[in-house]
Amino acid sequence: MLEPSNNNDLPQIPDKCYFTIGEVSELCAVKPHVLRYWEQEFLELTPVKRRGNRRYYQKHDVLIIRQIRSLLYDQGYTIGGARAYLVRSEVSVTVKPQKKLIVQIINELEELFELLK
């Protein structure tokens, strides 16, 4: 699932259930505002939100973030390309069925849009 590349330089993920956005930022070498943006762009990222909209990421979220980081920063994918890659890869298996349907509809609409151009 996780491409080797520069992710080997990242710290080891501790064995715990939940991580704050600050901890994930350090574990993945990505700033918190980038993580919040990626949540909007990648439906696979689903941190638990508690009181005051505090985000708590699980270990699978951290692995997905590292995958996204590798795709964008190391392999040169665009946001759209990385999104499509994740949908096609095994990462999308963790996505809830409703979100899978939404992703499928978005992809079909993008294909239709390209045809209409």
| DSSP three-state, residue 106 | helix
Rounded CA gap, 52 and 82, in Å?
A: 30
pTM higher than 0.85 for the full model? Answer: no
Token pair 């080797």 is found at 4
Higher pLDDT among residues 110 and 36, named by residue: 36
Most confident of 67-71, 82-86, 94-98: 67-71
DSSP state of 18: -
**6-65: pLDDT as tens digits:** 556 788 888 888 999 999 999 999 999 999 999 999 988 888 888 888 899 999 899 999
**25-39: pLDDT as tens digits:** 999 999 999 999 999
* Residue 96 in this model has a pLDDT that exceeds 60: no
Model pLDDT, residue 2: 46
The domains found in the chain, sorted by start residue, are 5-116 (1.10.1660.10)
Confidence of residue 94 (pLDDT cuts 50, 70, 90): low
Burial class (CB in 10 A: 0-12, 13-18, 19+), 25: middle
